[in-house]
Copies of this chain bind each other. A is one copy, B any other.
Amino acid sequence: MKKANKEVTIYDIAQKLDVSPTTVSRALNNHYSISKETTQAVKKLAHSLGYRPNSVASSLRTNKTNTIGVIMPLINRPFIASLISGIEDSANQEGYNVIISQTHDSYEKEIANAQTLYSSRVAGLIVSLAMETKHYDHFYPFLQNHIPMVSIDRISTEIETDRVIIDNYAAGFKATEHLIQMGCKRIAHFGGAQYRNIYQGRQHGYIDALKKYDLPIDETLIVHSKLSLEEGWKGAEYLLNLPAPPDGIFSANDSAAVSAIQYAKQKGVCIPRDLAIVGFNDDPISSIIEPGLTTVSHPAFDMGKIAAQQVLKNKLTQDIVQSQTIVLKTELILRASSSRKVLRETARKEW
């Protein structure tokens, strides 16, 4: 049983060129101490031999990998896919790879993923917390060993990392205030788990906007769920069959908002006249649904880019640096689902 082709190593090159492996290693890494000629010869032979650096060996020796670990709840959502795309983009520019894992919003899976990534000795970690997660011990190995860690979007203040987030409170406030300015008097809210920062922030913004305009806060109009399409439909069904149905909904994501629109339409409730709706995320569906869904847009791709940059920056400054929180602005994208009055601002053109 013959083994498959042995891999070409720097030793093979050294031998054929009658130089030391050291020289080869240096030549391949463009070390200044090696002459142009040797360097060229080495590279040429390396190429013709089909040499491929073994970064596993290199990583072991230098105790550094060129890989950034990413833990996300679920990768096939538009917002998260864009986050990852941004991370990938920045990382690649700096010569890093990205290793991705998803938690499916499970705490156990998140622990397992964190451990595997730690074992892989990733150079840094970017995490968006699972819905379920309330304890953070599984991240301590990273913190203790000063592996740069950045929390993104879904974060916890209980763990000391850099953070890249949006101002969920401001966005929720702005969205709700918009509905109020459009003349809504009874505004409902589709929210998520309140121990997760993003949903808490959005809901607080909603409540404070109501308060500011002296509108009553009616608990029966606040519906908590996982904000799926199904739950949006059911939420709308519940709300629109109340004795006193709402005339506006601020939904913490677009999926739920979109199916609320669909439910309302099939029930004959006119949007935005009878019911104005604002979503969150600016997913592609929000500009396709009719009427177009007014929504809050995240700069998802940029968030990813920034998070990756933050990780790589922290690799340099290994010293105790104050952990930094970067808060990005959101934008309210005005579309027909909330346009009960002529707007002074010009809505972004969409098609």
Q: Enumerate chain B residues within 8 angstroms of A233, measured Cβ to Cβ.
A: 351
Smallest distance from the beta carbon of A268 to chain B beta carbons, Å?
15
- Chain B residues whose C-beta falls within 8 Å of the C-beta of A50 in the assembled complex: 141, 144
Q: Is A82 an interface residue (CB 8 A)?
A: yes
Shortest CB distance A86–B (Å): 9
Min CB–CB distance A85 → chain B (angstroms): 5
| Cα separation A285 to B75 with both chains bound (whole Å) | 18
Q: Could you give 8 example pairs across A and B, Cβ below 8 Å?
A: A55-B121, A75-B84, A77-B81, A97-B99, A98-B99, A98-B100, A283-B284, A290-B290
Whether A54 is near chain B, meaning CB under 8 Å from some CB there, is yes
Q: Which residues of B contact A52 (CB under 8 A)?
A: 115, 118-119, 141
The answer to whether A288 and B258 have CB atoms under 8 Å apart is yes
- On chain B, the residues within 8 Å of A351 by CB distance are 229, 233, 259, 262, 266
Cα(A318)–Cα(B85), bound, Å: 34
Contact of A4 among B55, B65, B102, B318 (CB under 8 A): B318
Q: Is A78 an interface residue (CB 8 A)?
A: yes
Residues of B within 8 A of A82 (CB): 76
| A331 interface hit (Cβ, 8 Å) | no
Residues of A within 8 A of B (CB): 4-5, 7, 50, 52-57, 59-60, 65, 67, 74-78, 81-82, 84-85, 88, 92, 97-102, 115-121, 141, 144-146, 229, 233, 258-259, 262, 266, 283-285, 288-290, 318, 351
Name the residue of chain B whose CB is nearest to the CB of A140.
B50
- Specify which of B54, B55, B75, B116 is in contact with A85 (CB 8 Å cutoff): B75
Question: Across the interface, which residues of B come within 8 angstroms of A259, CB to CB?
Answer: 351
Q: Is the CB of B56 within 8 A of A85?
A: no
Across-interface contacts of A84 in B (CB, < 8 A): 75-76, 100
Contacts A102-B85, A145-B5, A290-B290 hold; do A56 and B92 have CB atoms under 8 A apart?
no
Which residues of B sit under 8 angstroms from A55, Cβ to Cβ?
119-121
| Additional 10 contacts, C-beta under 8 A, given A52-B118, A76-B84 | A54-B121, A67-B99, A75-B84, A75-B85, A88-B100, A88-B102, A97-B116, A98-B100, A259-B351, A283-B284
Q: Nearest-CB distance from A317 to chain B (Å)?
A: 13
Within the complex, the shortest CB–CB distance from A88 to chain B, in Å, comes to 6
Whether A146 pairs with B4 at a CB distance below 8 angstroms is yes
> Once the chains are docked, how many angstroms separate the CA of A266 from the CA of B229?
28
A21 to chain B: closest CB distance in Å? 16
Residues of B within 8 A of A141 (CB): 50, 52
Residues of B within 8 A of A76 (CB): 78, 81-82, 84-85
Closest B residue by C-beta to A351: B262
User: Which residues of chain B are near A288, meaning CB under 8 Å?
Assistant: 258, 285, 288-289
Contact across chains for A56 and B59 when beta carbons are under 8 A apart: yes
Contacts of A119 in B (CB 8 A): 52-55
Measured CB to CB, the nearest residue on chain B to A258 is B288
Complex: A60 Cα to B54 Cα, angstroms = 9
How many whole Å from A298's CB to the nearest CB in chain B?
13
CA distance A262 to B75 in the complex (A): 28
